[in-house]
Homo-oligomer: A and B are copies of this chain.
């Protein structure tokens, strides 16, 4: 990523307050049909939308996907199954590096912690939640809201074994929608390519295009130990994309901040993003330093390093966008426009009040405890899975002693089944990595909160971060799934009786973290929800329905077209072909070709389309989203954005912002000539 070039990236015109061409991550119950018709001549009908929605999959690990066969075959990105491949690997058998292929279904292997979810209905529950909130503020608001949500969720899903209910907060509190899901908690790995084929070019090519990466993989949904029979699935269409053709991306964008006020954006620019990036930089360095020259650490640390580098690069782009004067001016102009329009309507002005000032006050309050909250609660453990297990076990036990309506949202009845699965599924733990993550967390906490802070003294006692991390990791038994299961099921009695040092550590230190969480909810979440809810009312009053909510890791659809772009006089073609792999390869990591791909050079059709770009508006969480043609068939899976897309967290630029897609044709080429998988091809082609 050229940090210099980024400086000037955001000069193009964009960011009207109402969405413009190709902008928007729309909910399925508010698809902008008229707008799409106006731009592209036609738009999907309700049947199309229903079918696509019923084929779209959310992967609870943070990705999107689609069902592509009646036997529950699921198409997603390789980087979405990478944690699974790594969990299934051993020092003798590295499925990340070598790829994975189940030659028959008996060889398909369960992905620990993974659940797949398909939306079955969306219901507006705004009135019910807002009535519960009434005129409450701060902590009372948050508690009333969460109680109402817990109530709706537990009443709405009666069969927790196969259903999940989730109330989603949209427009920061302007709308509440109940999403009902059919869930599948047995998800198995079917196929993954070699890592170097899927992520050729590594971090240097991440968020770049032209790109050469077969970042596609397959999972399968199981129930009762058998593949499911899917009522809906997308038609697999391995044809190449056509320049200019309309494309729909259906998936779960994770989060955007396009409706943030200037105060919130300033906080991100000056506090949250810089501090996060500093942590990620040191984290990355510690991983690289530890893995260097150690093959087993290189294998077992790879997925964490990928995640850290990916986060770093994405946030760096966001930060640079906020530091870009032109970009910042446009965001400021948007806010000003809304203020002016509200002021022009005296009745509206009275109704809306001054939400900006309220948010500014909340941001100032947040700033005063951001450090403690970040280090003791939000980032506690920084990546340590053992710590996450311990804290979830302790909190689940504590919360389950309370009525549903009074629990922290993560521990209400509707959330427990997935939590239990994530806690009790077996997966490998790498002690060196756990120790590194914990030591880093403790050391950074001490650095930022200072060595003499009482909360730091409680955390460390007389031990150094390294000694404490070593003692906790060496002593804990939480790497054993059976022990975690016993603790989860044993509740508070089991937790209090536990002599596990990590459980004891969390019992000792968690009250402070929980207090900070409550403080965040009372002093930031509550006031911001109240204010953003009124801002949403103002936007609806002024812009009508021509607006979409910020991303929430729930199902959205974006429309766009296959299209390259021109930047600083250079025009980028919309697609790459397989030949590019061989032209770009240097032999040196990360531009080395993996063995099977290299060996297949003679067989591969080098002119076949590999990756392509579209104008769809997406963000992190959309990875694996099907890219769907007008006829409803799938022609690719989104796996990245270009470098210009990173400012998309705050505003969409139709001129430069692009989605990067691996084509279905590329997957076919791989399954035919690189990783031959005739059974899989047959299944994909079945009518």
Contacts and interface: CB of A to CB of B under 8 A. Distances in A.
Name the residue in A275, A323, A447, A590 with the highest tally of chain B Cβ atoms < 10 Å from its Cβ: A447
22 contacts: A2-B371, A2-B449, A4-B367, A4-B371, A4-B448, A201-B451, A204-B446, A204-B447, A270-B323, A282-B285, A282-B288, A283-B285, A285-B286, A285-B289, A286-B286, A286-B288, A287-B289, A288-B289, A289-B289, A289-B292, A462-B586, A463-B586
- Lowest 5 CB-CB distances: which A-B pairs, in order? A289-B289, A285-B285, A281-B281, A464-B588, A282-B285
Contacts of A590: 464
A383 B520 CA distance: 42
Contacts of A2: 371, 448-450, 453
Contact of A7 (B1, B367, B466): B367
Interface in A235-283: 270-271, 274-275, 277-279, 281-283
Number of copies: 2
B589 A466 contact: yes
A291 B227 CA distance: 49
A568 B533 CA distance: 37
A511 interface: no
A614 interface: no
Contact of A278 (B203, B278, B291, B371): B278
A369 interface: yes
Interface string A175-196: 0000000000000000000000
Contact of A462 (B278, B290, B446, B587): B587
Contact of A285 (B7, B281, B369, B466): B281
A4 B369 contact: yes
Contact of A292 (B290, B319, B370, B372): B290
A270 B323 CA distance: 7
Given A2-B371, A3-B371, A467 B588 contact: yes
A278 B275 contact: no
A205 B451 contact: yes
Given A270-B323, A285-B288, A4 B372 contact: yes
A1 B285 contact: no
A284 interface: yes
Interface in A354-402: 367-372
Nearest to A278: B281
A291 B286 CA distance: 10
Contacts of A586: 462-464
Interface string A537-553: 00000000000000000
Nearest to A370: B4
Contacts of A436: 289, 292
B451 A4 contact: no
Contacts of A587: 462
A483 to B, nearest CB: 27
Given A203-B447, A371-B2, A274 B275 contact: no
B201 A1 contact: no
A1 B449 CA distance: 7
Contacts of A1: 447-448, 450
Nearest to A449: B2
A11 to B, nearest CB: 14
Given A285-B289, A464-B591, 15 more contacts: A1-B448, A1-B450, A2-B371, A204-B446, A278-B278, A279-B281, A281-B282, A282-B284, A285-B288, A289-B290, A289-B436, A292-B436, A462-B588, A464-B590, A466-B589
